[in-house]
């Protein structure tokens, strides 16, 4: 194309562009495209807000004047989820959701009652606890300077906060709750006696369709209980290895079965008792000794302190106006959020009891 032809073509385009009708049409097209883009953006943003932002802002628990949103509960759950993943484990989201709801209510009750009992967690105590948890470990021959120590502490701490998706303020709030709860457990636990009636307990765990009659006959024929346990019991491996031996237990360690255990005469097999936590399973108990006044071992004493705290919370809760907005929709929403943030892991091989929906070792 010659230069003159190009100039003529350019002039025609210029003239056409100056045509009022064409200019108006181009402006209309531009406004239309801009309008469609804005509408599309608004639809997307509105959908995001409705799906992710609005649900998080909904109140899920009220304890007196204190209110907590779904986002607060989701943060608690994600901490548990990430902590489990860090050690190569995985939480049961459905079970943990109900626990988190209960813990949120209980922790706020403790928080509100604690000052009246002289129980508190200072900022200094909180700082010391956090530094103890996240301070890097050094060899005895190392002597890093304070600036390096602080830098490495902040790096470890910030990496953890990023991994669980918490702000420092959120982490400090949850940690303070945990510290207050432990102080309250020790305070209430002071009422737990250190000496009590105890029995030396043995147990055997079976399924309803197992050969229970044969097991009973062998016991009545004088076969040692430990041998019968190793042949028939589906208890956790450690209990089976010990021949069903649990050890000295006071009342309250297995409160659901105290009425059986403490009325049982030594060396007799108890009646069958359905597992409270895993209903398909059946327990048979046997005691070999009784002691009307025996010092409670530290491990059992700590369990009784925890039970005392739970009993205290159940009583104290009646004094508070507690309102929980929790239903299948809330449970489903929380479950989906946890699925999104969950790390993919290969499925582990399941045992026969796990395939039946029964976890071994749930009842101590």
Query: Tell me, what's the pLDDT at 176?
Result: 95
Using pLDDT thresholds of 50, 70 and 90, give the confidence band for residue 49.
very low
Please list, in sequence order, all residues whose beta carbon lies within 8 angstroms of the beta carbon of residue 195, skipping any fewer than 6 positions away.
293, 294, 295, 296
Query: Tell me, what's the pLDDT at 1?
Result: 55
Strands (E), the chain: 59-63, 66-69, 195-206, 245-250, 273-274, 282-295, 322-324
Query: Tell me, what's the pLDDT at 67?
Result: 93
Using pLDDT thresholds of 50, 70 and 90, give the confidence band for residue 271.
very high
Query: Tell me, what's the pLDDT at 349?
Result: 46
pTM above 0.85, yes or no: no
Render pLDDT for 238-252 as a digit per residue (tens, 0 to 9): 999 999 999 999 999
Query: Tell me, what's the pLDDT at 357?
Result: 42
Which of 54-68, 104-118, 170-184 is predicted least confidently? 54-68
Using pLDDT thresholds of 50, 70 and 90, give the confidence band for residue 345.
very low
Query: Tell me, what's the pLDDT at 40?
Result: 54
| CA distance linking residue 101 with residue 1, whole number of Å | 79
- Mean pLDDT, rounded, for 167-193: 95
Using pLDDT thresholds of 50, 70 and 90, give the confidence band for residue 78.
confident
- Mean pLDDT, rounded, for 7-15: 51
- Altogether, the residues listed in the chain come to a count of 364
CATH topology for the 61-190+320-341 domain: Triger factor/SurA peptide-binding fold (1.10.4030)
127 membership: H or E segment, kind and range: helix 123-134
Answer yes or no: CATH 3.10.50.40 is held by domain 197-295: yes
Query: Tell me, what's the pLDDT at 268?
Result: 96
| CA distance linking residue 207 with residue 280, whole number of Å | 6
Using pLDDT thresholds of 50, 70 and 90, give the confidence band for residue 29.
low
* Residue bearing tokens 């025609």: 12
Give the chain's mean pLDDT: 83
**Percentage of the chain exceeding pLDDT 70:** 78
| CA distance linking residue 124 with residue 180, whole number of Å | 14
Closest C-alpha among 324, 277, 338 to residue 97:
338
Render pLDDT for 182-204 as a digit per residue (tens, 0 to 9): 999 999 999 999 999 999 999 99
Render pLDDT for 79-125 as a digit per residue (tens, 0 to 9): 888 888 888 888 888 889 999 999 999 999 999 999 999 999 999 99
Long-range contacts of 214-217 (CB under 8 A, 24+ apart): 215/284, 216/269
Render pLDDT for 207-235 as a digit per residue (tens, 0 to 9): 999 999 999 999 999 999 999 999 999 99
């Amino acid at each position: 194309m010659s230069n003159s032809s190009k100039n003529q073509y350019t002039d025609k385009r210029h003239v056409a562009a100056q045509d009022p009708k064409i200019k108006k049409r181009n402006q209309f097209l531009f406004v239309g495209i801009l309008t469609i883009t804005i509408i599309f953006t608004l639809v997307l943003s509105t959908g995001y807000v409705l799906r992710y932002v609005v649900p998080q802002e909904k109140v899920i628990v009220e304890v007196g004047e204190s209110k907590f949103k779904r986002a607060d509960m989701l943060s608690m759950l994600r901490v548990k989820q990430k902590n489990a993943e860090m050690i190569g484990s995985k939480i049961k989201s459905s079970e943990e959701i109900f626990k988190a709801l209960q813990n949120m209510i209980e922790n706020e009750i403790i928080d509100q009652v604690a000052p009246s009992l002289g129980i508190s967690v200072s900022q200094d105590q909180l700082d010391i606890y956090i530094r103890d948890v996240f301070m890097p470990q050094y060899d005895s021959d190392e002597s890093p300077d304070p600036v390096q120590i602080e830098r490495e502490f902040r790096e470890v701490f910030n990496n953890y906060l990023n991994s669980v998706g918490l702000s420092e303020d959120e982490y400090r709030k949850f940690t303070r709750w945990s510290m207050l709860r432990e102080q309250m457990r020790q305070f209430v636990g002071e009422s737990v006696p250190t000496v009590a009636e105890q029995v030396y307990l043995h147990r055997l765990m079976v399924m309803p369709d197992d050969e229970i009659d044969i097991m009973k006959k062998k016991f009545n024929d004088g076969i040692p209980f430990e041998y019968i346990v190793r042949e028939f019991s589906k208890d956790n491996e450690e209990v089976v290895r010990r021949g069903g031996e649990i050890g000295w237990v006071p009342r309250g360690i297995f409160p659901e079965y105290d009425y059986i255990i403490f009325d049982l005469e030594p060396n007799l097999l108890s009646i069958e008792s359905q597992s409270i936590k895993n209903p398909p399973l059946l327990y048979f108990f046997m005691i070999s000794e009784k002691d009307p006044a025996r010092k409670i071992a530290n491990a059992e004493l700590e369990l009784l302190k925890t039970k005392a705290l739970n009993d205290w919370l159940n009583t104290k809760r009646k004094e508070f106006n507690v309102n929980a907005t929790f239903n299948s929709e809330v449970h489903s929403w929380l479950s989906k959020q946890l699925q999104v943030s969950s790390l993919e892991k290969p499925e582990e091989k399941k045992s026969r009891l796990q395939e039946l929906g029964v976890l071994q070792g749930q009842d101590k």
